[in-house]
Amino acid sequence: MNYQYLIIEKKEDIACITINREEVLNALTGEVILELDYVFHELHHDEDVRCIILTGKGRAFVAGADISLLNTFRGQEGRKLARLGQAMMNYIEGMDKPVIAAINGFAIGGGCELAMCCDIRIASEKAKLGQPEVNLGITPGYGGSQRMTRLVGKGMAKYLCLTGEQISAQEAKEIGLVEKVVSPEELMDEAFRVAKKIASKAPIAAGLVKLAINMSEDVPLAAGIAYEAEIYNTAFKTEDRSEGLSAFLEKRNPIFSNK
């Protein structure tokens, strides 16, 4: 597929998706959401890709939704766009391949929500994050109220969503909204370094771990531990398990086959 709003690059077993609407700070529209949905489905089923990086072109990761578009909406149109964005972000969160958000600049509103559905967030020192929808008389629509609460806690989620404040990358790290903060010049190198480290691990095991951690938010501890026993058993049935244990005993680096 030829993408109008995305740049797709592959380096060995890592794919990098760059949102390319620099002139409007990579604002999300229905068309951009559909392209993101399509490419993540495509990369999910690409056996050569083991980790995905998502970033933005220019000064923004994603500076929210297209406000001029939202201003034309009435009633049901808002729900339709919210459901579209939620479905795309739910897919990113639920797919078994790890996704890293390389937050190069503004991650505001829908951009913050997009970053939060990724597995790991690495931010430039120049990045700004926030859920400022209340300033516009609307609410987060792509899962912001829910993922923000899970990442930073109820009190801080209320603070950010009710004040509409934008916070720095360092503040975001301090509250657990991002995992790492680096200089702008180091951002993509660091994202690829982490992606390569993840891609070097057993893909089936990595995918199972991601799913188990996601599940832990929604089930009682006993149910989560029971599920962990099942995925532990699943991992033991793979060729990668034999390779990983043998490599450890033989004091060599494993070569995982995704089988």
Nearest Cα residue to 14 out of 201, 245, 213, 255: 201
74 with 160, same domain? yes
90 with 17, same domain? yes
Q: Is residue 211 assigned to a domain?
A: yes
The CATH number for 211's domain is 1.10.12
- 243 given a catalytic annotation: no
Catalytic residue among 9, 23, 35, 113: 113
Q: Is residue 118 assigned to a domain?
A: yes
Residue 82 has a pLDDT of 87
Residue 257 has a pLDDT of 86
Rounded to whole angstroms, how far apart are CA atoms 184 and 175? 21
159 with 240, same domain? no
Structure tokens at 59: 């000064």
By DSSP bridging, strand 180-182 and strand 6-11 are unpaired
- 133 given a catalytic annotation: yes
140 with 215, same domain? no
Q: pTM (2 decimals)?
A: 0.94
Residue 77 has a pLDDT of 78
- Give me the number of domains the chain comprises: 2
114 with 239, same domain? no
Q: Is residue 149 assigned to a domain?
A: yes
Q: Is 179 helix (H, G, I), strand (E, B) or coil?
A: coil
Distance of CA 38 to the CA centre of its chain: 15
Q: Is residue 177 assigned to a domain?
A: yes
101 with 129, same domain? yes
Q: Is residue 66 assigned to a domain?
A: yes
Q: Is residue 1 assigned to a domain?
A: no
Provide the domain limits for residue 60: 6-199
The CATH number for 13's domain is 3.90.226.10
Nearest Cα residue to 61 out of 122, 104, 123: 104
Rounded to whole angstroms, how far apart are CA atoms 83 and 15? 26
Residue 65 has a pLDDT of 73
Residue 73 has a pLDDT of 72
Report the 10 Å Cβ neighbour count for 230: 11
Q: What is the block-wise mean pLDDT of the chain (259 residues), using blocks of 10 residues?
A: 94 96 93 97 96 97 81 76 94 97 97 98 98 93 95 97 97 98 98 97 94 91 94 92 90 87
Burial of 161 (0-12, 13-18, 19+ CB in 10 A): buried
81 with 173, same domain? yes
Residue 147 has a pLDDT of 97
Catalytic residue among 9, 31, 47, 133: 133
End-to-end CA gap in the chain:
28
